[in-house]
Amino acid sequence: MRELIALGCTECKRKNYFITKNKRKHPEKFEINKFCKFCKKHLKHKEAKV
């Protein structure tokens, strides 16, 4: 049931994190503040295509 999704930085657009998510229970896009190792700061990361 759980699907692999990638989290991409909103500033540099690179995929930094991969997590799993149940798309039936949570169909909305996932968004969280995480550290981007390329930008070297905490930024919003949104769900992106794998």
Give me the domain span that covers residue 39. Answer: 2-48
Total domains in the fold of the chain: 1
Q: What is the pLDDT of residues 5-50, one digit of tens each?
A: 999 999 999 999 999 999 999 999 999 999 999 999 999 999 998 8
Average pLDDT of the chain is 94
| pLDDT above 90 for 1 | no
Residue type, 8: G
Which residues have CB under 8 Å from 10's CB, separation 6+?
43, 44, 45, 46
CATH code: domain of residue 26: 2.20.28.120
Say whether pTM exceeds 0.85: no
Percent of residues in the chain assigned helix, strand, coil, to nearest 5: 0, 60, 40
